[in-house]
Structure 1
Amino acid sequence: MRLAVSTLGLPGEDLAAAIETAARFGCEGLELRLHPDTGVFAGLDAGERVAVREAIRGRGLEVAAVAGYIRIAEAGPDEVVIAGLRADLELAADLGASGVRVFPGGTDAEAAGRRILAVAGLCRERGVRVLVETHDALPTGAAVGRLLDVVDLGDVTGAIWDVVHPWRHGETPADTCAALNGHLSYVQIKDAVSSTDTTPRPLWAGSVPLDTCGELLRGFGGWVSLEWERTWYPDVEPVDQVLPGAREWVSRYAIKSA
C-alpha cells in the first residue's frame, strides 16, 4: 500500500499547502480534487500542468489519482460525458496520475460501457484508468462490481472502494471485497460517526470497521487515500490531526502475514 491524502482535506484546498502537508506526514502521493478552487482542473494549459506536476514531484510525491465528477452511468446523451471524461483523462496523464475517479451517477451500465469504450484507446495509449467509486446510485461493491462486469474493459477500468458508502448501505467489508475482486484498484479510507451520520471522525474514533477492512486488504499493492472531507465539514479537526492515524493504518496492514 502507498498512502495518499486528498486535497479535499485542506482548508481552502490550497495545492501548495497540500503538497507540504503530504510530504511532512510521510505520504507518497496526493489525490487531487478537480475544481478551479484547487488550482487543478481540465482547463489548465500545458505550462500550468507542468508546473503542478513539478511542484508535486519536487517534494518526492506522486499524483495517486485525480478526483473528477464525471457521472459515467447517468442518463442522457453520451457526448457530453465522453468529452468531460476525455479531458479529465488527458489531465491525469499529463500529471502522471494513475487514473480519474468517476461517480456512477446512475445505473445505466450500457451507457457507461459505451462511454468508457470511447476513451479506451486514450487510456491504453497514455496509461491511465477510469476508476469508478462506490458512490451515489451504486454505493456498494456489489453494484459497482456488476457495472464493471457489464462494461468488461478491465484493462482500462478499476474500482475505488470508499470504505464508508458500502458499509452505511448495509454491505459488510467482506462482501464488498469479494464483489470487487478483480476490479479493486484504489481505496479511500475515512471514519464517520455512524452509518446514519457521516460526519468525519479521526480514524478509529468513529464506527467504520477499519480493522476489518484492513485485514481484508492486507498486502494490497495499490493506493490508499485519506479522504478527509473538511471542505464539506469545516468544523472537523484539521487533517494534520488525522494523517498520523492514516499512516498507522497503512503501516499496520501493508505487509502480508507469514
Structure 2
Amino acid sequence: MKLAFSTLGVPGLPLTDVLALATAHGYHGVELRAHPDEPLHPGLTPAERADAAARFKASGVELLALAGDARVAGPGDDAPVVAELRALLDLARDLGAPYLRVLPGAAPDQPSDDADGTAARRLGTAAEYAGDVGVRILLETHDAYRTAAAAIRVLGLVGHRRVGAVWDVMHTWLGGEQPTESFAALSPYLGYVQVKEIASADETAPLPLGAGVLPLAEVVEVLSRHGWDGWLCWEYEKHRYETAAPLPALLTDARNHLTRLLTESA
C-alpha cells in the first residue's frame, strides 16, 4: 500500500513546502484540500494549473486526490452543487489527480430518503462528466453517512463506476461498525482509506497515529487479508483544531507507525 497525508494538516501551506514535506518524510503522495483559502483551488488560471502539475511531476510525489468541500446530499438546488463538482473535476484533471473526494453534508433534519435521492441524483449527473475528464468521484463516510452501510445506500442508487467511496475509519468506528463490516460493504466502491487518531468518541481532536483508540491495526489487517493494495491517507484535521500539535513534526512517526502496521499484517 502507498502512504499519503492530507494538507488539511498544514492549512495554507504553499505547494512547494507540501511537496518538500512529503519527500523529506517518505510519503508517496498527498491529498490536497482544494478550498478558496488554499494555494490550489478552482480559481487558478490555466498557467497556474500547469505549473502546479509540473511541480508534482518534478517532485515524484503523487497527487492522490483533491479534497473538495462540495456537499452532495445537502439541501437546496442541484445546479450550484453540480457546477461546483464540475469545477473541481476540471481542477483534478488539470493537476493530475485520479480522485475527487466529496462530502455528504446532509442537514440534521433532512429525511434520509430525500438526502439519498439528492446525493445520488447529483453524483449521477456529475459521473458522466467525471468519465470525460478521467477522474473518479469518491463519497466520504462522513456526517449523516458516517457508516459504510449508509454510504452504500447512495452509491447503490448511483450505480456508476466513476463514483466510489473514501473510507474514513474514524467515522465508521463512531457509527458502530467493525472494520470487517465497513470493508465488506465498501470494497466494491473503495478508492482509498483515510486513517486518523482520536482519544475517544467524545474527544475527536486529532492525535498522533498510534496514540488513540481507533482500530487502525484491524483496518490494515482486513485490507491486507483481502489483498487490497491501494492508498492509506493520514488526515490530521489541524484546520479545525487550533490547539492541535503541528503536523510536520509528526509526519515521520506517523509513516513509521503505518509501515509497522503494514509489516505486521503481511
Q: Give the TM-score category using the shorter length.
A: over 0.9
Counterpart residue number, 1:178: 184
Distance 1:204 1:253 in 2: 10
Alignment root-mean-square deviation, CA: 1.8
Q: State the shift of 1:249 in Å.
A: 4.3
The equivalent position to 2:219 in structure 1, one of 213, 217, 238, is 213
Percent identical across equivalent pairs?
42
Distance 1:176 1:72 in 2: 21
Counterpart residue number, 2:72: 72
Query: After the TM superposition, which of the residue ranges 86-95 and 67-76 deviates more from structure 2?
Result: 67-76
**Structure 1 residue identity aligned to 2:7:** T
Counterpart residue number, 1:9: 9
Structure 1: tracts of 5 or more residues without a match = none
Distance 2:174 2:61 in 1: 32
The equivalent position to 1:247 in structure 2, one of 248, 252, 255, is 255
Contact 1:214/1:249, CA 8 A, preserved across alignment: no
Distance 1:80 1:240 in 2: 36
Counterpart residue number, 1:131: 138
Distance 1:58 1:8 in 2: 23
Cα offsets for 1:183-214 (capped at 9, x unmatched): 11111111011111101111111111111111
Q: How many residues align?
A: 257
Contact 1:5/1:226, CA 8 A, preserved across alignment: yes
SS of aligned partner of 1:220: coil
Contact 1:110/1:151, CA 8 A, preserved across alignment: no
**TM-score, normalising length from structure 1?**
0.93
Distance 1:70 1:46 in 2: 22
**Structure 2 residue identity aligned to 1:133:** E
Distance 2:206 2:116 in 1: 31
Structure 2: tracts of 5 or more residues without a match = 107-111
Counterpart residue number, 1:119: 126
Distance 2:205 2:104 in 1: 22
Counterpart residue number, 1:195: 201
Q: State the shift of 1:121 in Å.
A: 2.4
Are 1:35 and 2:35 matched, yes or no? yes
